[in-house]
Chain A
Amino acid sequence: MDAHVAQLQMQYRNYILSLYQQGFLDDQFTELKSLQDDGSPDFVAEVLSLFFDDCVKLVGNMARALDQIGTVDFCQVGANVHQLKGSSSSVGAKRVKGLCINFKELCEAKNYEGCVRCLQQVDIEYKTLKAKLQDMFNLEKQIVQAGGIVPQVDIN
């Protein structure tokens, strides 16, 4: 039983590390995790679900705005990108954030092609992240069910 837990913990640790190494997450996510304590046990999940809801909404908004070919409101897209950038930097979604920074520049340059491409990337990226984090939560759950505790991962 203990071995199983240990293995799960190991797997969890490596998984988290790989997320950091592959640049999905940055220190802010660590910060976020550190904010979770007994007082708010689901804090991270809560924030993340907020974030992903935001993503869906904002990406949808931007897609609609970019659909109006010829009359694209770049200001509106820019505002949405800004929102997304803020959210992603808050949760430490490094890749999404990076994309948003590019996206914003493209928006300011009113580069339609670039914006569309970037939007697609953002869409792919946040969905990937969502899947990855879902896996992470599943692992956490498994550990807890197996009677272990979720280990603190020191990324340094």
Chain B
Amino acid sequence: MSLFHVLGFCLKIGQLFWMLCCWFLSWFLDADKSPLDPDKTKMKNHNKMCFLWNKISTSGLKIPPSFSHHLFGSVRFGKTFWRKVLVAWVVSWVLISFWTFWCLTSQAMAKRKETLASMCDERARMLQDQFNVSMNHVQAMSILISTFHHSKFPSAIDQRTFSEYTDRTSFERPLTSGVAYAVRVLHSERQEFERQQGWTIRRMEQNPVHKDDYDTEALEPSPVQQEYAPVIFAQDTVSHVISLDMLSGKEDRENVLRARRSGKGVLTAPFPLIKTNRLGVILTFAVYKRDLPSNATPNERIEATNGYLGGVFDIETLVENLLQQLASKQTILVNVYDTTNHSQPISMYGSHVSADGLEHVSPLNFGDPFRKHEMRCRFKQKPPWPVQSMVTSFGILVIALLVAHIFHATLSRIRRAEEDCHKMELLKKKAEAADVAKSQFLATVSHEIRTPMNGVLGMLHMLMDTELDVTQQDYVRTAQASGKALVSLINEVLDQAKIESGKVELEEVRFDLRGILDDVLSLFSGKSQEKGLELAVYISDRVPEMLIGDPGRFRQILTNLMGNSIKFTEKGHIFVTVHLVEELLDSSDVETSSSSSTENTLSGLPVADRKRSWQNFKAFSSNGHRSLALAPSEINLVVSVEDTGVGIPVEAQSRIFTPFMQVGPSISRTHGGTGIGLSISKCLVGLMKGEIGFSSTPKVGSTFTFTVVFANGMHSTERKSELHNNNQPEFEGMNAVLVDHRPARAQVSWYHFQRLGIRVEVVTSVDQALRFMKTYATTVNMILIEQEVWNKEADVFVKDPLVHSPKLFLLANSIDTSVSDTLSNVIDPPVLIVKPLRASMLAATLQRGLGIGKRETPQRKGPPALILRNLLLGRKILIVDDNNVNLRVAAGALKKYGADVVCAESGVKAVSLLKPPHEFDACFMDIQMPEMDGFEATRRIRGMEEEMNNGEALTVEEGKRSRWHLPVLAMTADVIQATQEECLKCGMDGYVSKPFEAEQLYREVSRFFNSPSDTES
């Protein structure tokens, strides 16, 4: 697992690294491409850095063109700060990594130097030690010679002894290749010496000869000198020097002289050795005749000199041998120099070939103060690449650049996100604007289409009235139907658009909910009767009579739902109920139990579970206390439309409120419609602070339920019963028996009859009704019987004599033939009340049916126009109005009722015409007139009448009319209470609104005129 992580991490790092490489490459390419000043390229490193810095900061970081191309063109000023920070970061870390590199490298160098120094010193010390050992031994040998050669006579040492001895002790002198002894021979003693030795003293070759050619015998004898130093003993390795005069060699002479003077070991400068021709130095010790004190003068020393012992140091070989003993020979090169002459050091050992510049110098002390030597050490190899420091610093750089990259990526991402956000906002605004524009466009276009469509429809209508053959008529009918569908669609679209664009504002007017429902019911009554459906409304008693809200929109919702129900229902019923939310909350348990039995529905067919349609409503949520949040004046209504139609397929139920979504394409073909209605309804319900929901069972039916919030339109002083009385006072106190075996249907009928003030006793069967009639026959005004019951038991019913006294009404869904047939068989056929029941229709039918009741009050019945004619016929009436048109119209109206009309154009003229004794029966007077208004004119008339009355009271005999009082009625357009009071105050008897309404005219006129028939009779 962790391996994978590591792998992933490595890959990630690799990728980043690769990117960085690209980045760098492009950076440098970029820098190269830029035209550089040739002077600037020669600048020192830090100058270059400065230049780069300037370049970077001025070019606004176009360093990584490979993956920042998307940033071009969108660089904003606000971001330059962060960009500078980024560049500063990168540059500072580059500097830091360089510094680290330098630090580490110098550290390594120091360490190397130290190593070299220690190694060099070690070698120098060893060399010095070994040299000293050799030197000491040589010195010891000199003492040996002094002891055994010079102090003994005859000498204990000859050449053979010497060479043997030296050979055997050569291990003591590891640095010497050989030793030799030369004696001091004065010129005076030369002959004696040569004779003794058996050979002549020879001088050294002045010119070095080749080793192989070297031949001692060939050397010429030494020329005459003051003294000589011929070698008498020599180790085998240097036996060729025997008989050579040491003083004849330049180096040797100097050495010998210095040695005997100082009494110490003396070294020659390095020189090529005789015969071997190798580089070497010679150490020379003087051998004295006696033991000299350490402070002896040089002359004393010269005097005491017996001979000279010399050791040959073949430095090259010797040092080689020495170094081979040490480890790490390969790593360093050693050079040994004689630096007696500082300006021209003489190389004693070592080559000059070295790659490394590093050198350490260690001084060497070989015991000869005159000669100075030093050892110079170098490493053989160049110093290795400082890999560690390079890696470290590069690592630091990489990390810093990675951080910078991350930072940069973050910045650019933030910027991109901001830009995207900005773009999104713009788009959102655009979309919103487009939405509004769409709605406006729809609204405008729909409106514009409607106008010409009206023309098209009108023309089609006219076309249908012309003579057409069957095919043509079919075409026209189709065209008209399509046109109508189009118009209704447009209206709906217009509605939807209006709602969406928020242009719909709800009205706040006072309205009668029951009236609205009656209206909607009458709208659908035709269709329901056609299909034989039971259509009914039930409104709970607790719903106030008057509400405040938007009746038009409420009606629209209801029409829509009912329209759908009607469309999809072929048999059964459509039942609209209105309740208060509280009511349903209180009784919800009872509802469930009662509605579960299918028998209890309006038509006896099963229905969808009504309760499920509102189970998601907030108003019905489990705590159910939303009603508490409502202001006390607000009325929360629940309206349900229940049908026994085809129902909504389960798969379509979710999209039922989506505009233009119908159950399936076949629906619009078979049933028409656009599928926008429910969506509009939902919007409207939402506007009315309500919710809409439904429950539907396929093949059983659907129930749509919605809630709306209205304000209470009832004033606290008003009583519901008063309103009832005002509507239909004539049925107050009547009793009825309703025969119906379905409780639900009976309840609806009961509701409608009790609205009219009729008390209804519900019985479930004919038998029960008959039993009831036996006891209460006298008090029952009417018997109501359901068509269903009638069809089954009509015969039994009609035959019973008890039933004949009250009027019989039949409640039917439609006027089909079977009913009419049965009706024609009966002697006194029952009056047919065709459902749906609604107040106005019901009242009219009952009035017609209860003919007896009407005949008792004949003057109150019948069309008002007729009665008016009776009242006004032959009456002479004066009309006063300054407005010609009004005058003419009013006159025409009254003339129509048979009155004899005289017109007057002004108050003054009216006053002049109305001088008592009056020749007119009445006067209709306009109030607002120039010169003299109606009030003034009336006041004057009343004044004149008063005078007359007072005068006549004295003259006219009794029995005559005691007072003159002409009925004066105000004609006014505004029916404000204040005006009415004003009218009465100035002596008018009443008022009529200006365009005459027959009803009102009748009401007022009848107060003054008895009907002619009465007077006649």
B-binding residues in A (CB < 8 A) = 3, 6-7, 10-11, 14, 18, 21, 28, 31-32, 34-37, 39-40, 43, 46-47, 50-51, 53-54, 79, 82-83, 85-87, 89-92
- Complex CA gap A91/B885 in Å reads 8
Alpha-carbon separation in the docked complex, A60 to B466 (Å): 46
With beta carbons under 8 angstroms apart, the residue of B462, B896, B928 that contacts A35 is B896
Instruction: Give every chain B residue within 8 A of A91 (Cβ-Cβ).
Output: 885, 889
> Does B472 sit at the interface, judged by CB under 8 A?
no
Chain A residues within 8 Å of B458, by CB: 14, 18
Beta-carbon nearest neighbor of B928 in chain A: A82
Out of A14, A37, A40, A86, which one reaches B886, CB within 8 Å? A86
Contacts A10-B465, A37-B896 hold; do A31 and B885 have CB atoms under 8 A apart?
no
Q: 29 A-B residue contacts at CB 8 Å?
A: A3-B466, A6-B466, A7-B462, A7-B465, A10-B462, A11-B462, A14-B461, A18-B458, A21-B454, A35-B889, A39-B895, A40-B892, A47-B892, A50-B884, A50-B885, A51-B885, A54-B883, A54-B884, A83-B883, A86-B886, A86-B926, A87-B883, A87-B884, A87-B885, A89-B973, A90-B883, A90-B889, A90-B994, A90-B995
List residues of chain A with CB within 8 A of the CB of B884: 50, 53-54, 87
In the complex formed, the residue of B with least CB distance to A91 is B885
A63 to B930, CA, bound (A): 20
8 Å CB contacts to A: which residues of B112-140? none
Query: When A and B form their complex, what is the total count of cross-chain residue pairs whose Cβ atoms lie within 8 Å?
Result: 77
B465 touches A90 (CB 8 A): no
Q: Is the CB of A46 within 8 A of B465?
A: no
CB distance from B278 to the nearest CB of A (A): 134
Interface residues of B in 963-1005 (CB under 8 A from A): 973, 994-996
Nearest Cβ on chain A to B848's Cβ, whole angstroms: 21
CB distance from B618 to the nearest CB of A (A): 42
| Distance (whole angstroms) from the CB of B991 to the closest CB of chain A | 15
Query: Is the CB–CB distance between A32 and B462 below 8 Å?
Result: no
CB contacts (< 8 Å) of B892 on chain A: these are: 32, 35-36, 40, 43, 47
Contacts of A7 in B (CB 8 A): 462, 465-466
Distance in Å: Cβ of A143 to nearest Cβ of chain B: 14
| Contact A54-B895, Cβ < 8 Å, known A86-B973, A92-B995 | no
B893 at the interface (CB under 8 A from A): yes
- Bound-state Cα–Cα, A53 to B930, Å: 19
Instruction: Let me know if B888 is at the binding interface, CB within 8 A.
Output: yes
1/0 per residue B794-838: CB within 8 Å of A?
000000000000000000000000000000000000000000000
B882 at the interface (CB under 8 A from A): yes
Chain B interface residues (CB < 8 Å from chain A): 454, 458, 461-462, 465-467, 881-886, 888-890, 892-893, 895-896, 926, 928, 930, 973, 994-996
Q: How far is the CA of A6 from the CA of B465 in the complex (A)?
A: 8
Question: B724 to nearest A CB, angstroms?
Answer: 27
A75 to B458, CA, bound (A): 45
6 closest Cβ pairs, A-B complex: A87-B885, A35-B892, A90-B889, A28-B995, A51-B885, A90-B886
Q: Are B995 and A31 in contact (CB under 8 A)?
A: yes
Q: How far is the CA of A10 from the CA of B597 in the complex (A)?
A: 55
CB-defined contacts of A36 to chain B, threshold 8 Å: 892
A102 to chain B, nearest CB (A): 15
Q: Which single residue of chain A is at the shortest CB-CB distance from B993?
A: A89
| Residue from A18, A39, A47 within 8 A of B889 (CB atoms) | A47
Chain A residues lying within 8 Å of B462, measured Cβ to Cβ, are 7, 10-11, 14
Within 8 Å CB of A14, what residues of B?
A: 458, 461-462
- Given the interface pairs A3-B466, A14-B461, A50-B888, the reply to whether A31 lies near B893 with Cβ below 8 Å is yes
Partner of B995 from the list A46, A51, A89 (CB cut-off 8 Å) is A89
CB distance from A34 to the nearest CB of B (A): 8
B467 adjacent to A3 (CB under 8 Å) = yes
* Nearest CB in chain A: distance from B74 CB, A: 53
For A86, list chain B residues within 8 Å (CB): 881, 883, 885-886, 926, 973, 994
Chain B residue with Cβ nearest A17? B458
Closest to B467 in A: A3
Shortest Cβ distance from residue A2 to the other chain B in the assembled complex, whole angstroms: 10
Q: How long is the Cα–Cα vector from A35 to B804 in the complex, in angstroms?
A: 45
Tell me the nearest residue of chain B to A48, going by C-beta: B885
A31 to B996, CA, bound (A): 9
User: A14-B461, A32-B889, A43-B892 are known contacts. Are A89 and B994 too (CB-CB below 8 A)?
Assistant: yes
Residues of B within 8 A of A39 (CB): 895
> Is the CB–CB distance between B885 and A90 below 8 Å?
yes
Which A residues touch B890, using CB under 8 A? 90
Residue of B nearest to A43 (CB): B892
Q: Taking CB as reference atom, which chain A residue is nearest B881?
A: A86
In the complex the two chains form, is A54's CB within 8 Å of B885's CB? yes
- From A14, A86, A87, A91, name the one whose CB has the most chain B CB atoms within 10 angstroms: A86
A79 to B926, CA, bound (A): 14
Contacts of B881 in A (CB 8 A): 86
How long is the Cα–Cα vector from A14 to B461 in the complex, in angstroms?
A: 9
Given A3-B466, A46-B888: 13 more A-B contacts, CB < 8 Å: A7-B462, A10-B462, A14-B458, A14-B461, A18-B454, A32-B889, A40-B895, A53-B884, A86-B886, A89-B973, A90-B886, A90-B889, A92-B995
Query: Residue on A with the closest CB to B865?
Result: A34
Closest to A27 in B: B995
- Give every chain B residue within 8 A of A83 (Cβ-Cβ): 882-883
For A89, list chain B residues within 8 Å (CB). Answer: 973, 994-995
Smallest distance from the beta carbon of A9 to chain B beta carbons, Å? 8
Q: What is the bound-complex CA distance between A11 and B459, given in angstroms?
A: 9
Determine if A85 and B885 form an interchain contact, defined as CB atoms under 8 angstroms apart.
Answer: no
> In whole angstroms, what is the CA distance A18 to B886 when docked?
25
Q: A39 → chain B, closest Cβ, in Å?
A: 7
Question: A85 contacts B973, CB within 8 Å?
Answer: yes
How far apart sit A11 and B994, CA to CA, in the bound complex (Å)?
A: 32
- B973: A residues at CB distance < 8 A: 85-86, 89
Which of A28, A31, A35 has its CB near the most chain B CB atoms (within 10 A)?
A35
Complex Cα–Cα for A18 and B973 (A): 27
From residue A66, how far is it (CB to closest CB) to chain B in Å? 19
What residues of B have a CB within 8 angstroms of the CB of A35 in the complex? 889, 892-893, 895-896
Contact partners of B454 in chain A: CB under 8 A: 18, 21
**Nearest neighbor of A82 in chain B, beta-carbon distance:** B928
Chain A residues with Cβ under 8 A from B883's Cβ?
A: 54, 83, 86-87, 90
Most central of A7, A14, A91 by chain B CB within 10 Å: A14
CA distance A91 to B930 in the complex (A): 21
B996: min CB distance to chain A, Å: 7
Q: Which residues of B contact A85 (CB under 8 A)?
A: 973
Separation of A90 and B454 alpha carbons in the complex (Å):
29
> What's the Cα separation between A31 and B865 when bound, in Å?
12
A79–B996 CB distance below 8 A: no
| Min C-beta distance of B634 to chain A, whole Å | 33
* Cα–Cα, bound, A47→B884 (Å): 8
Chain B residues with CB below 8 A from A43, complex form:
892
B995–chain A nearest beta-carbon distance, Å: 4
With most chain A CB atoms within 10 A of its CB, the pick from B882, B884, B895 is: B884
Q: Which of A31, A85, A91 has the most CB of B within 10 A?
A: A31
User: Distance (Å) between the CB of A132 and the closest chain B CB?
Assistant: 15
Q: What is the CA–CA distance of A28 and B885 in the complex, to the nearest angstrom?
A: 13
What residues of chain B lie closer than 8 Å to A32, measured between beta carbons? 889, 892
Distance between Cα atoms of A43 and B454 in the complex (Å): 32
CA distance A3 to B896 in the complex (A): 34
- Quote the shortest CB–CB distance from A105 to chain B (angstroms): 13
State which of B882, B888, B926 has its C-beta within 8 Å of the C-beta of A47.
B888
Residues of B within 8 A of A51 (CB): 885
B982 to nearest A CB, angstroms? 17
Residues of B contacting A90 with CB < 8 Å? 883, 885-886, 889-890, 994-995
A34 CB contacts on chain B under 8 angstroms: 896
B886 touches A87 (CB 8 A): yes
B530 to chain A, nearest CB (A): 21
Q: Is the CB of A79 within 8 A of B465?
A: no
B888 contacts A79, CB within 8 Å? no
The answer to whether B994 touches A79 (Cβ under 8 A) is no
